Amino acid sequence: MIAEGKAKPMIIVMPYGNVRPKPMPDFAKDVINDIIPFVEVNYPVLTDSKHRAVTGFSVGGGQTLNIGLTNTDKFAYICSYAPYTATEEFKKNFTNYSPDATLINKQLKLFTISVGTEDFLYESVKQNIEMYKSKGLNLQTLIVPGGYTWMNCKLYLANTLQQLFNE
């Protein structure tokens, strides 16, 4: 996609986010306090939020929402694919969610949630989409045929890679 001019050059960091037996909320702290500083010290990256994205599939999609929407000062792009959100961390962050939608919409250049219509997470994802929209967040969705598959995940990624860092 970079060679075809469809995506900007970028460094993609893919930590293993299944942090059991450590509690899931520690992963957000790991990303903010350990992974981002490590990448910034060791790689030639731009360090402002406008040049940083968080994305993930399934449990990683849920972690994307947890990490990104609680740190909109650090990520201007939040792209969640078939997010699994039946976690204590998600409940803690979003059960009584009262965001400053004006501020978040100003900070985020892109907030997307993608899912397939036959995905076993489809109904819960639809509920989350409606919740975020009802809070006034600017949210784009990509809802496609099919289920919980890597083919759909690749489609979601190909769609959002073309939207990242286009200023």
The domain limits of the chain are 25-161
What does the pLDDT look like over 116-160, one tens digit per residue?
A: 999 999 999 999 999 999 999 999 999 999 999 999 999 999 999
- The enclosing H or E element of 10 equals none
Local confidence band at 18 (pLDDT 50, 70, 90 cut-offs): low
Cα–Cα distance list, 10 to 45, 92, 127, 128, 138 (Å): 8, 32, 32, 29, 24
Those residues whose C-beta lies under 8 Å from the C-beta of residue 74, and which sit 6 or more positions away, are 32, 36, 49, 52
Kindly report the pTM of this predicted structure: 0.92
Hey, what amino acid is at 103?
A: L
Average pLDDT in the chain: 92
What does the pLDDT look like over 52-89, one tens digit per residue?
A: 999 999 999 999 999 999 999 999 999 999 999 998 88
CATH class of residue range 25-161: alpha beta
